[in-house]
């Protein structure tokens, strides 16, 4: 064990410190007594109001019901907004798919028209080539008119009439296709307007029904009681 030294305490110094501490505690207690707050003097007031206790409770119940209705209404509005957003997203996707299908259909029809035009051009080219060969072999007069129309002239007339008939039929078919596309677009726009109007009317009717039901319940449960005496608190 290492050596150590024991120091004898200074009794005089200890007594002086104790006296100083006791004096400070006495001063603190004296300060608390001097600064203790006095009694509170309030002016008497009449509490309560002109309403009776039953009417006050009815008003409190009405406020509670209104709060519950507001919360319910907020939840319903949130659900409706979410459902409307989902329906709008579905309609948007359907519109995109419909637009893609229409574009594909238009491309197919354009390709079909191009094939028909190429076929008609090739047919017209061959027909003209044949008619040119027939014209070369026909005798001509000074007036560039055929004196005696033969079977070649009749064949040319039939070919020309057939070519005109094909061209008219193709024009009619193209015009019919254009009218059909225009009619489909108008019908689609009309259907979209009808669906939007139906959704708006259904939303307004549902909101009106909920408001009327709430007002009916509120009117039944919160009838004012005029026979109750005044309540003073």
- Within a domain: 115: yes
- Say how far apart CA 121 and CA 127 lie, in whole Å: 10
CB burial of 213-231 (b: ≥16 within 10 Å; e: otherwise) equals eeeeeeeeeeeeeeeeeee
The domain tally of the chain equals 1
- Within a domain: 228: no
- Within a domain: 203: yes
- Say how far apart CA 152 and CA 145 lie, in whole Å: 13
Q: Quote the pLDDT of residue 48.
A: 62
Helix, strand, or coil (residue 125): helix
- Within a domain: 229: no
Q: Tens digits of per-residue pLDDT, 141-191?
A: 444 444 445 555 566 677 677 777 777 887 888 888 888 888 888 888 888
Place of tokens 């019919």: 176
- Within a domain: 22: no
Q: Tens digits of per-residue pLDDT, 68-107?
A: 888 988 999 999 999 999 999 999 999 999 899 988 988 8
- Say how far apart CA 120 and CA 82 lie, in whole Å: 56
- Within a domain: 211: yes
Q: End-to-end CA distance of the chain: give it in Å, rounded.
A: 81
Write out the residue range of the structural domain in which residue 122 sits.
56-135+158-217
Query: The whole model's pTM is what?
Result: 0.30
- Within a domain: 188: yes
- Within a domain: 205: yes
221 contacts: CB under 8 Å, gap ≥ 6: 61, 62, 65
How far, in Å, are 71, 80, 137, 196, 198 from residue 202 at the CA level?
A: 22, 11, 80, 10, 6
The mean per-residue pLDDT over the stretch 24-32 comes to: 95
């Amino acid at each position: 064990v290492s050596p150590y030294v024991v120091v004898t305490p200074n009794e005089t110094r200890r007594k002086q410190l104790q006296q100083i501490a006791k004096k400070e505690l006495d001063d603190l207690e004296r300060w608390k007594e001097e600064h203790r707050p006095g009694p509170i003097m309030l002016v008497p007031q009449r509490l309560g109001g002109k309403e009776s206790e039953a009417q006050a409770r009815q008003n409190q119940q009405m406020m509670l019901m209104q709060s519950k209705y507001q919360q319910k209404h907020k939840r319903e509005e949130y659900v409706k907004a979410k459902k409307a957003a989902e329906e709008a997203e579905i309609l948007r996707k359907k519109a995109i798919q419909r637009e893609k299908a229409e574009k594909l259909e238009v491309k197919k029809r354009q390709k079909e028209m191009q094939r028909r035009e190429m076929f008609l051009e090739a047919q017209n080219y061959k027909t003209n080539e044949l008619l040119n060969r027939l014209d070369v072999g026909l005798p001509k007069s000074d007036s560039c008119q055929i004196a005696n129309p033969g079977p070649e002239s009749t064949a040319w007339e039939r070919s020309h009439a057939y070519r005109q008939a094909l061209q008219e039929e193709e024009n009619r078919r193209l015009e019919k296709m254009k009218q059909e596309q225009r009619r489909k677009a108008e019908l689609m726009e009309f259907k979209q307007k009808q669906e939007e109007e139906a959704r708006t009317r259904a939303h307004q009717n549902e909101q009106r029904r909920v408001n009327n039901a709430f007002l009916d319940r509120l009117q039944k449960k919160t009838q004012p009681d005029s026979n109750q005496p005044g309540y003073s608190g």
